[in-house]
Amino acid sequence: MNAGPNRVGQSGLTYFGRTTASISHELKNALAIIKENAGLLDDYLLMADKGMPLDAARFRTVTGRIADQITRADGIIKNLNRFAHSVDEPIKAIDLNETAGLLDVLSQREAAMRQVTLQVCPAGAATPVTTAPYLLLTLLGRCLSLCLQHMGSGKTLTVKVTKGPDGGRIEFEGLDAAALAAAGDFPGENESALLNAVGAECHLDGTHGCMSITLSNR
Amino acid sequence: MTEKILLVDDEKDFLTVMSERMTARGMQVTTADSAEAALQEVEGGSYDAIVLDLKMPGMDGLETLKAIKARNPTLQVILLTGHATLEKGIEAMKLGAMDFVEKPADLNLLTEKIRSAQARKMVLVAKQTEQKLKNILTTKGW
């Protein structure tokens, strides 16, 4: 049985798997810290049972840490929820600023692992485009991964949104000539299929060190 | 005997609380929040066990494990991971890890493994010393 490669579908699944694995790892870290701090409170109580006085200030420090990690975990779940809802409608009018924002929070861990600072510069105004939201996220995720892979540590990758007369552009800035050269023949077959699915074009600019994805409402 | 531990994880909040809990259990704990910091500690000191996070920015846990074992093969490394798979476990053991624990780790279980690590290291160091003595006796020809 050979239905031919479903590049768009497979790319989407790969991005889904990679993103949820990263989110689950972050949640595990937050839960581990909560667990150990709860265990530390138990340790203090055991010591109190043996006659050592309870230190209220230390108790408050630990409960504060637990509260911080719960806030962190809640933020991670909210991001997961936004990500999950990106598949609600196959084609939808979206704001590229919001998409870039979601890409940012979903990619922070990947950037940290590569020791690259990731920052987003939204456009000054809402930048609406009609496209396939989840597939656009998948495409941008691939672009971002490629940039992170070839940039080298200690650098800053800027994701900049620019509003156009009839659509908008997302640029990945901070790439040097070597990084762009290492990108090879990007976009490849999978990326080209995604570009077609979301109605976008991709340009690599060696002079300004950036990769851009342009979407038009025409 | 007090266990000397090096705890390595990029999550500083995790290092803080684990260090406090392990110290309260009588262990002597040093922390490092990166692979590079861990390797500096390994150069400068001796540890009964190194508890090492598998996924860290820059040099990851397995690369760090290789670098640690290259510097001192007697060091016992316990890997911490968010997702323990048999495949990863086998790879880690092949690279010389003593054991492999999934986060969030049970501290009592981790403490047991640390004590095993200390015992194993003492045996290895004793063997090394015995071999050195044999070499001296053989080469000096008294």
What tens digit of pLDDT does each residue of A18-51 get? 999 999 989 999 999 999 999 999 999 999 999 9
Containing B4, the helix (H) or strand (E) segment is strand B4-8
Mind listing the domains of chain A with CATH numbers? 8-85 (1.10.287), 92-216 (3.30.565.10)
For an interface test with A, which of B12, B13, B83, B101 has the most A Cβ atoms less than 10 Å from its Cβ?
B13
- Domains identified in chain B, total number: 1
Give Cα separations from B112 to A186, B5, B83, B99, B117 (angstroms): 51, 13, 21, 11, 9
Smallest Cβ distance to B103: which of A28, A113, A153? A28
pLDDT in tens, A153-182: 999 999 999 999 999 999 999 998 777 877
CA distance A113 to B128: 38
pLDDT band at B50 (very low <50, low <70, confident <90, very high): very high
Q: What is the 3-state secondary structure (H, E, C) of B64-111?
A: HHHHHHHHCCCCCEEEEECCCCHHHHHHHHHCCCCEEEECCCCHHHHH
DSSP of A76-109: HHHHHHHHHHTTS-SSEEEEHHHHHHHHHHHHHH
Supply the DSSP symbol for B59: S
Nearest to B7 by CA among B74, B70, B123, B101: B101
Contact A25, B55 (CB under 8 A): yes
The two tokens of residue B8 are: 């390595």
Candidate from A25, A35, A40 with C-beta closest to B55:
A25
Q: What region, left, alpha or beta, does residue B14 occupy, with left being phi > 0 and alpha being psi -120 to 50 degrees?
A: alpha
pLDDT class of B44 with cuts at 50, 70, 90: confident
Cβ-contact A68, A33 below 8 angstroms: no
Cβ atoms within 10 Å, residue A113: 18
Confidence of residue B104 (pLDDT cuts 50, 70, 90): confident
Mutation site, B85, B103, B108, B111, interface A, largest A CB count within 10 A: B103
Contacts of A40 in chain B (CB under 8 A): 17, 20-21
Q: What is the ipTM of this complex?
A: 0.85
Dist. CA A141–CA A125, nearest whole Å: 23
On whether the CB atoms of residues B98 and B65 are closer than 8 A, the answer is no
The parent domain of residue B109 ranges over 4-140
Exposed e or buried b per residue across B105-115, where buried means at least 16 C-beta atoms within 10 angstroms of its C-beta: bebeebbebbe
Residue B88's CATH number? 3.40.50.2300
Tell me if chain B has a CB within 8 Å of the CB of A214: no
pTM: 0.87
Q: Is B21–A36 a contact, with Cβ atoms under 8 angstroms apart? A: yes
* Residue A25 forms contact with B (CB below 8 Å): yes
Q: How many CB atoms within 10 Å of residue B130?
A: 10
Number of CB atoms found within 10 A of residue B98's CB: 19
Q: Which residue has the tokens 């259990």?
A: B25
Contacts of B34 in chain A (CB under 8 A): none
Torsion of CA A36, A42, A48, A49, to 10 degrees: -140
Cα B59 to Cα A85, A118, A120, A175, B65, distances in angstroms: 34, 19, 26, 22, 10
**Predicted pLDDT of residue B140:** 76
Query: Chain B residues within 8 A (CB-CB) of chain A?
Result: 11, 13-14, 16-18, 20-21, 24, 55-58, 82-83, 103-105, 107
Under the banding of pLDDT at 50, 70 and 90, the label for residue A218 is low
Q: Report CB contact under 8 Å: A29, B82.
A: yes
Confidence of residue B84 (pLDDT cuts 50, 70, 90): low
